[in-house]
């Protein structure tokens, strides 16, 4: 079978859930036994989002091979239940970087280097290479941004050319738009969709399928109107209605035969899909019998997208524990005294301190750790959340007053968290942290070992600072156990304290490997313990 290319574009406004729609189509096709991969195009000029502020971009997702990526890659991995790599995310920055490097090497043999064909060829080769290197049946490429954006144009031009290169039987265009319900008029408005499709057609792309995001189901008349004005068959006007559980979207698409339509258009013949486990998950997610409330204590809490993978990992673990997840967002910058602590954390079942950069909110996080330790509330620290746990333990249990990370205080007399020697020389910021998968050896009889039920794991990292080896002995003597370490024993990957129902943290980010059908064990046990303890 020839490789098939599906392109997902978006119109009208951003944040319509293009990533989820793309992931849902991926899951549906995968459930037919096809080898599917998903790819995200980000039209910004940054080479990757690693250097962007979370308020600009939301979470930076990290792949196993250490690429700092758009958060949609997280959705792709969770829906496909497979791990992707750096080739699955392209940015304008990467494309130009590569073309300019080739130009400097003289590879264009004296030609004028232009957007068409040089930039567009580079884009197309990034799409087709992904198919070749992984032997995939279907590549689904999501074009970030909204149709009409200046920076998205070279990508849409490349996408248009793909049909010319590979034929209609091997390419498909799917467009996601908004169909708003106007309360005053008491009707859905199709005009924004019409404009958005017109814009796409002006570029030369006629969508094959429209996904219409709406509050509730569209009527037959509305679908007919959209079909007529947008030149799309009525059955190909698919409703992408708002749902409570994102993992239900593939099932809603299937109900409208989106999967069959795609297979027919691409000439793929397959038997029934296998979605039994997925359906069971959605069913369980929608009718849990208890509630678990978790406080997420970070400094980017106004922007939930900054903690996307954590939210999803908690959700997967809650479903597996038959519980409805309730999140309480705590701005660690505002936790200044006992009253604030009690108000924020008194009633929750478990406390999570996520990763982060920079000093703002750190002292609040340390107060939160003290509270969790003394009150014996289940605590999970991730990355910076582990570093705060070590600082707290050093200060309050080991008598190292003023202990800190050199990230926040470079003249501290107890630098319990410090830069690795290898990190000191680094001048460039982009892509230079300790990134991606690293193995971690788990100590016998520890909580970590019980959680993972094996003695070696691999998890993903994104940090510059580490537990300072000089203080390990002192911390351990007072009961802070480093139950996960790099295989050579030099890097501390997991810290825990005995005599507490659940007080553990990881230098890595277990949230990146959690999947609906396979929750990450750290999250699973955190939720389990939170339900049991309170
Ligand atoms: N700022 C810390 C470091 O660089 C923690 C990073 C994180 O939490 N991802 O090590």
Q: What is d(CA 524, CA 528) in angstroms, rounded to the nearest whole number? A: 6
Helix boundaries (H) for 137-243: 153-166, 191-203, 220-230
Q: Is the CB of 461 under 6 A from ligand 1?
A: no
Which of 128, 15, 152, 135 has its CA nearest to residue 71?
Answer: 15
| Catalytic residue flag (residue 383) | yes
Q: Is the CB of 393 under 6 A from ligand 1?
A: no
pLDDT of residue 534: 62
Q: Between 3.40.50.880, 2.60.40.650, 3.40.309.10, 3.30.1370.10, what CATH number should domain 289-533 receive?
A: 3.40.50.880
For residue 523, the surrounding DSSP H or E stretch is helix 521-533
pLDDT of residue 525: 98
Task: Tally Cβ neighbours within 10 Å of residue 209.
Answer: 23
Q: Is the CB of 408 under 6 A from ligand 1?
A: no
Q: Which atom of ligand 1 is nearest to the CA of 462?
A: 9
**Same topology for domains 4-280 and 289-533, yes or no?**
yes
pLDDT of residue 267: 96
Residue 154, classified by CB atoms within 10 Å of its CB into exposed (0-12), middle (13-18) or buried (19+), is: buried
| Catalytic residue flag (residue 511) | yes
Task: Say how many Å lie between the CA of residue 359 and the centre of ligand 1.
Answer: 11
Strands 68-69 and 181-182: unpaired
pLDDT of residue 69: 94
CATH superfamily for 4-280 is: P-loop containing nucleotide triphosphate hydrolases (3.40.50.300)
Positions of the chain with pLDDT under 50: none
Q: Check if the beta carbon of residue 94 is closer than 8 Å to that of residue 41.
A: no
Q: Which atom of ligand 1 is nearest to the CA of 356?
A: 8
The preferred substitution site among 464, 495, 505 for testing ligand 1, maximizing ligand atoms within 8 Å of CB, is 464
Catalytic residue among 383, 388, 398, 440: 383
Task: Say how many Å lie between the CA of residue 430 and the centre of ligand 1.
Answer: 14
194 contacts: CB under 8 Å, gap ≥ 6: 226, 229, 230
Task: Say how many Å lie between the CA of residue 326 and the centre of ligand 1.
Answer: 26
> ∠ at Cα 441 (489, 84), nearest 5°?
115
Task: Say how many Å lie between the CA of residue 493 and the centre of ligand 1.
Answer: 13
Closest protein CA for atom 5 of ligand 1: 384
Three-state secondary structure readout of 316-337: HHHHHCCEEEEEEEEEHHHCCC
All structural domains of the chain with their residue ranges: 4-280, 289-533
pLDDT of residue 431: 80
For 211-241, give the DSSP string: EEEESSPPPHHHHHHHHHHHT--GGGEEEEE
What would the pLDDT profile of 189-221 be if each residue is shown by its tens digit?
A: 999 999 999 999 999 999 999 999 998 899 999
Q: Is the CB of 460 under 6 A from ligand 1?
A: no
Length of the chain: 534
Task: Say how many Å lie between the CA of residue 130 and the centre of ligand 1.
Answer: 31
- The residues facing 435 across adjacent strands are 462
The preferred substitution site among 384, 389, 408, 422 for testing ligand 1, maximizing ligand atoms within 8 Å of CB, is 384
| Catalytic residue flag (residue 279) | no
What would the pLDDT profile of 428-448 be if each residue is shown by its tens digit?
A: 778 888 999 999 999 999 999
Residue pointed to by tokens 């680094």: 426
Closest protein CA for atom 7 of ligand 1: 355
Q: What is the pTM of this model?
A: 0.95
Q: Check if the beta carbon of residue 434 is closer than 8 Å to that of residue 490.
A: no
**Which three-class secondary structure state does DSSP give residue 207?**
coil
Q: What is the CA radius of gyration of the chain?
A: 25
């Amino acid at each position: 079978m020839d490789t098939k290319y599906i392109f997902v574009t978006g119109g009208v406004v951003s944040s319509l859930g293009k990533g989820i729609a793309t992931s849902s189509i991926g899951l549906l096709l995968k459930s037919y036994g096809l080898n599917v991969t998903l790819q995200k195009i980000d039209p910004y000029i940054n080479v990757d989002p690693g250097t962007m502020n979370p308020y600009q971009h939301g979470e930076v997702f990290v792949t196993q091979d250490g690429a700092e990526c758009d958060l949609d890659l997280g959705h792709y991995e969770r829906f496909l239940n497979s791990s992707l790599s750096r080739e699955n995310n392209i940015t304008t920055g990467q494309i130009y970087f590569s073309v300019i490097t080739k130009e400097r090497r003289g590879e264009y043999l004296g030609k004028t280097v232009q957007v068409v064909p040089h930039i567009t060829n580079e884009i197309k080769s990034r799409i087709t290479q992904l198919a070749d290197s992984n032997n995939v049946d279907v590549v689904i490429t999501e074009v970030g941004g909204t149709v009409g954006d200046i920076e998205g144009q070279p990508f849409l031009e490349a996408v248009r050319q793909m049909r010319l290169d590979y034929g209609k039987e091997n390419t498909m265009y799917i467009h996601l738009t908004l169909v708003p319900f106007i309360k005053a008029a008491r009707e859905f408005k199709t005009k924004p969709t019409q404009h958005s499709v017109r814009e796409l057609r002006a570029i030369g792309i006629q969508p094959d399928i429209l996904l219409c995001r709406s509050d509730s189901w569209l009527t037959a008349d509305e679908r007919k109107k959209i079909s007529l004005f947008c030149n799309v068959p009525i059955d190909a006007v698919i409703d992408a209605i708002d749902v409570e559980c994102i993992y239900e979207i593939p099932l809603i698409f299937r109900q409208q035969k989106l999967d069959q339509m795609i297979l027919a258009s691409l000439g793929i013949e397959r038997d029934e899909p296998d979605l039994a486990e997925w359906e069971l998950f959605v069913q369980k997610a929608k009718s849990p019998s208890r509630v678990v409330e978790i406080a997420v204590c970070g400094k980017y809490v106004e922007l939930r997208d900054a903690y996307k993978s954590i939210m999803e990992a908690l959700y997967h673990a809650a479903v597996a524990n038959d519980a409805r997840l309730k999140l309480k967002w705590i701005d660690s910058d505002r936790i200044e005294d006992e009253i604030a602590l009690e108000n924020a954390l008194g009633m929750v079942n478990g406390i999570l301190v996520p990763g982060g950069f920079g000093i703002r909110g750190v002292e609040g996080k340390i107060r939160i750790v003290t509270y969790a330790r003394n009150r014996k509330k289940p605590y999970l620290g991730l990355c910076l959340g582990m570093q705060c746990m070590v600082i707290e333990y050093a200060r309050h249990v080991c008598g190292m007053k003023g202990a800190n990370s050199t990230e926040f205080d470079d003249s501290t007399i107890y630098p319990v968290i410090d830069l690795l020697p290898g990190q000191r020389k680094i001048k460039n910021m982009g892509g230079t942290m300790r990134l991606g998968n690293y193995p971690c050896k788990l100590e016998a009889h520890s909580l970590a070992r019980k959680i993972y039920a094996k003695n070696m794991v691999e998890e993903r990292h994104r940090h510059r600072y580490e537990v300072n080896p000089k203080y390990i002995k002192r911390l351990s003597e007072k009961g802070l156990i480093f139950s996960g370490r790099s295989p050579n024993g030099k890097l501390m990957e997991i810290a825990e304290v005995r005599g507490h129902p659940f007080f553990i943290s990881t230098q890595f980010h277990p949230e990146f490997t959690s999947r609906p059908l396979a929750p990450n064990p750290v999250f699973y046990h955190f939720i389990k313990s939170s339900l049991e303890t309170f």
